[in-house]
């Protein structure tokens, strides 16, 4: 009862105030008819509160988001189905859906009373201009009496997830050197090592079956080793995205980091459509969602895009090298920003006899911080044997990718001997 009285609307409080005033005036003026009016005005809100307090509404809500994964700027439809599972008809329902501010304003609905077993439907659209994973809901419901004297609040705890993935750009098909893009646990690098035992084991990766652990090799090397499994020969690609705070400039959708995410998503989708098995690596190591044993392949790159949807800038200063212990032949595409001298050895290890391509962000176009750490990425990459194409705000990603296919910018002499940078080769 106390909860119901706390939900008095402005109209309900006005009824109470008018009723009390009428009763007091009736006593002072000795007007019995006026006292009857006052008692009626006071009784109506109290009676409504007593009825609502004793009523047990059983409402169920089903929320459907379609599609559950959209591209930045693409709308999604949210459908609500509210059902009355109780025996008591509900009053007027005021619905307010809780949605993150990135998805727009909170939708509000007014539904007429729902009888026993009846359902009501409502729908609205959401759209985000920022990538991410968002929770739609819960919903707040306010039940009113027929006279609008009281409102009682209820809430559903259920939510639905909407994933907004970065935009992708259709990239042209360019020659990528198929000769060194094979994969499988028995690869060329393994065949070039010494003993047979070394050929049949490799370093443990998160997600490996513990039944494959090779304890003798683990005891000898001091780290956990697992037996290799022969896999079909297939094209493999690694997309490296530098997600360090020190490597990027700007903020919001126009920042260099968002441009890098779009570039990485476009390259990964393009390679997956061409039949490559693609894995995603960031400055902190390999992304578990696209680990090599469960990599994204074929036309479906949804899992990798979901990983990029929630990727945020990382405070790390150094590039992680742990994943390089299993970095083998294949296409490697790096999307990098500002680089430091300590990054050169890591980039040298990433480059291999396969094909190493890099999209270097022109951070001067985003505005470099005076005295900031690091320097332009292009010279560092060129000195480590990468093919490089520059990418700035507003530049056409497809054109930059086509330039990489033609050869990109390359160094003409070995590192350490005063290299000069050659132009793009056809």
**Cα 84 to Cα 90, 156, 159, 227, 359, distances in angstroms:** 8, 13, 19, 58, 57
pLDDT at 290 over 80: no
Q: Tell me if residue 54 falls in helix, strand or coil.
A: helix
Indicate if the pLDDT at residue 419 is higher than 50: no
- Give the model's pLDDT for residue 2: 65
pLDDT of the residue at 146 = 72
Rg of the chain in Å (alpha carbons): 32
d(CA 286, CA 102): 29
Percent of the chain whose predicted confidence (pLDDT) is above 90: 35
Predicted local distance difference test score (pLDDT) of residue 354: 57
> Average pLDDT, whole number, for the chain?
80
Q: How far is CA 36 from CA 15, 41, 46, in A?
A: 14, 9, 15
* Residue 245: closest CA among 256, 237, 259, 230: 256
Contact 57, 141 (CB under 8 A): no
Tens digits of per-residue pLDDT, 342-386? 899 999 988 875 588 999 999 888 875 544 455 577 888 888 889
C-alpha to C-alpha distance for 280 and 264, rounded to whole angstroms: 9
Per the document, the length of the chain is: 426
Which residue in 294, 243, 239 sits closest to 267, CA to CA?
Answer: 239
> What confidence score (pLDDT) does residue 65 get?
96
Q: Which helix (H) or strand (E) holds 306?
A: helix 302-309
Say whether pLDDT at 185 is over 60: no
User: Which of 197, 196, 224, 198 lies closest to 212, judged by CA?
Assistant: 224
Q: Output the DSSP codes for 238-291.
A: EEEE--BGGG----GGGSHHHHHHHHHHHHHHHHHHTT-EEEEEETTEE-GGG-
pLDDT attached to residue 161: 95
Report d(CA 397, CA 266) in Å as an integer: 9
pLDDT digits (tens, 9 = 90+) for 315-332: 999 999 888 877 666 889
Q: Report how far residue 19's alpha carbon sits from residue 114's, in angstroms, rounded to the nearest whole number.
A: 31
216 or 206, which is more confident? 216
Q: Helices marked H in 342-422 — which ranges?
A: 344-350, 377-383, 397-405
228: tokens are 């290799």
pLDDT value at 284 more than 50: yes
Contact 149, 12 (CB under 8 A): yes
Whether the predicted pLDDT of 24 surpasses 50: yes
pLDDT band at 422 (very low <50, low <70, confident <90, very high): very low
Residue with tokens 């042209």: 172
Structure tokens at 98: 């809780």
With contact defined as beta carbons under 8 Å apart, do 331 and 238 qualify?
yes
Measuring CA to CA, how many Å separate 95 from each of 87, 135, 139, 251, 345? Answer: 21, 17, 7, 35, 58
The predicted model scores a pTM of 0.73
Predicted local distance difference test score (pLDDT) of residue 241: 96
Q: CA-to-CA distance for 107 and 119, rounded, in angstroms?
A: 19
């Amino acid at each position: 009862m106390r909860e119901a009285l706390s939900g008095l609307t402005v109209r309900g409080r006005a009824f109470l105030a008018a009723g009390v005033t009428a009763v007091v005036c009736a006593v002072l003026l000795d007007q019995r008819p006026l006292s009857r009016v006052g008692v009626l005005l006071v009784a109506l809100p109290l009676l409504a509160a007593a009825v609502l307090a004793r009523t047990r509404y059983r409402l169920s809500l089903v929320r459907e988001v379609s599609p559950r994964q959209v591209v930045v700027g693409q709308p999604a439809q949210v459908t609500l189905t509210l059902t009355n599972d109780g025996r008591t008809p509900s009053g007027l329902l005021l619905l307010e859906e809780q949605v993150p501010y990135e998805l727009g304003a909170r939708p509000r609905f007014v539904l007429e009373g729902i009888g026993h077993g009846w359902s009501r439907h409502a729908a609205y659209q959401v759209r985000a201009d920022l990538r991410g994973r968002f929770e739609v809901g819960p919903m707040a419901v306010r039940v009113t009496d027929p006279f609008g004297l009281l409102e009682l609040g209820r809430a559903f705890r259920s939510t639905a997830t909407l994933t907004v993935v970065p935009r992708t750009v259709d990239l042209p098909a360019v020659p990528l050197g198929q000769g060194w893009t094979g994969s499988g646990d028995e690869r060329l690098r393994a065949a070039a090592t010494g003993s047979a035992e070394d050929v049949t084991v490799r370093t443990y990766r998160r997600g490996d079956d513990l039944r494959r652990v090779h304890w003798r090799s683990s005891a000898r090397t001091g780290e956990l080793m697992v037996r290799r499994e022969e896999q079909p020969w297939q094209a493999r690609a690694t997309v490296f995205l530098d997600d360090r705070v020190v490597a990027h400039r700007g903020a919001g959708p126009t920042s260099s980091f968002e441009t890098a995410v779009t570039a990485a998503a476009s390259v990964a989708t393009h390679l997956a459509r061409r039949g490559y098995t693609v894995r995603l690596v960031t400055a902190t190591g390999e992304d578990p969602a696209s680990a090599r044993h469960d990599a994204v392949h074929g036309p479906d790159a949804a899992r990798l895009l979901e990983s990029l949807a929630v990727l945020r800038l990382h405070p790390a200063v150094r590039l992680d090298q742990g994943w390089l212990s299993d970095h083998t032949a294949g296409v490697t595409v790096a999307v990098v920003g500002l680089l430091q001298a300590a990054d050169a050895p890591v980039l040298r290890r990433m480059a291999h006899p396969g094909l190493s391509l890099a999209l270097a962000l022109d951070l001067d176009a985003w505005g470099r911080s005076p005295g900031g750490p690091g320097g332009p990425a292009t010279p560092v990459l060129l000195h480590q044997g990468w093919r490089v194409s520059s990418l700035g705000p507003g530049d056409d990603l497809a054109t930059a990718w086509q330039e990489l296919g033609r050869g990109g910018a390359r160094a003409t002499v070995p590192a350490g001997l005063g290299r000069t940078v050659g132009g793009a080769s056809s």
